[in-house]
Structures are given as structure tokens and as C-alpha cells.
Amino acid sequence: MSNVLIVYASKNGQTLKICQKLRSVIERHDHHVTLVPIEAADNVDLNRFDKIIIGASIHYGHHDPAIQAFIEHNQPVLDSKDNAFFSVNVVARKAEKRQPDTNPYLKKFLKRMSWTPKQLTVFAGKIDYPSYSLFDRTVIRFIMWMTKGPTDPTAIIEFTDWEQVTAFGELVSQID
């Protein structure tokens, strides 16, 4: 049994939902998983864990700056352990933008850092127009209109491929 830490930044809850699914998959392999929001990550002793997984969603074109700060501050520990990173964004709803080497947000994020995750993936997120503020709903609808995505202000559309999430959970369960 290994100890696995999942640190996440989730603006609207989809990244947390993905983390919970990953935890259930990883725990089926008799590993212990701890989920920690980025806001509490500085209080965690990373050395207690065998693997560290970091997940972050995109909000207005950027991952949460606290995720980058966490990675930069803890890079030596991250590099010494089995690790993984995943990005959650609606651009990944398109098959051609769902791979780490084709997702513009992930590529931009990784380019700004010297850290190279050992395992990497991108998950499509969710649009939940009714839950957004008027400002967010308007901006996201405009972005969706420009990218030929859904613009119905009453729509709730989950683009996450749960089979892909399960497969990534299986992959990261293989603790070295």
C-alpha cells in the first residue's frame, strides 16, 4: 500500500469531482489517497507520500497561480517522487485539443516552469451556465461562440470523458 497525495485547484467543482473519481480508482489498488485543495497544500508534509498528483482547472485562460507557486516551491520534492499533473479545461472537449502536446493551456503552463511531470494528461471540463455569475456566463458564452461551442445560457454540459479519467487513475495506480 502506498500513500498518494492529490493536490487540486477547482474553481467550479469539476476538478474536485475528477479528483474524487481518481481517488476511487487508485484506492481499488489498495493505495491510500489524500485529497487536498491548493489552499491547504502548504500545511502538508509531502515527504509522507509516495506519489503526488496535481490537478488544476483553467479559469479565464490560466491555471490557478497557487498551483504554479506550489510546484515551484516544492519542485525538489516533486522531482524525487513519482508524480503526475492533469489540466481540466473546456478546450479539451475537442479531440484534437485533448492531448498534452496539443492542448494550448497545458503547453503554455508547462513552458513557464522547469518542472516536467512524469505523467501528464488533459481532461475536458464542464460548462454550467446557470451556476455562473452574469459576467462569467457572458464571457464564457462569448468564448464558446468564438470556438463554436455551446452558448445556450441554460445549458449544463459535462464534457469530461470518465473512461479517460478511469484510465489515468489506473495508470497512476502503478506506483514505482
Q: Which CATH number is 26's domain given?
A: 3.40.50.360
Confidence label for 156 from pLDDT (cuts 50, 70 and 90): very high
Residue 147 belongs to what domain range? 127-159
Average pLDDT over residues 56-83: 92
β-strand pairing of 156-158 with 62-63:
unpaired
pLDDT in tens, 89-124: 988 999 899 999 999 999 999 999 899 999 999 999
- Do 28 and 87 have their domain in common? yes
- Do 96 and 132 have their domain in common? no
Distance (Å, rounded) from C-alpha 110 to C-alpha 121? 12
DSSP annotation of 153 reads T
- Do 155 and 167 have their domain in common? no
End-to-end CA distance of the chain: 12
- Do 73 and 138 have their domain in common? no
pLDDT in tens, 121-147: 999 999 999 999 999 999 999 988 988
Q: CA torsion 148→153→159→160, rounded to 10°? A: 140
> What's the grid cell of residue 132?
455562473
| pTM across the whole model | 0.92
- Do 86 and 141 have their domain in common? no
The two most distant CA atoms of the chain are separated, in Å, by 47
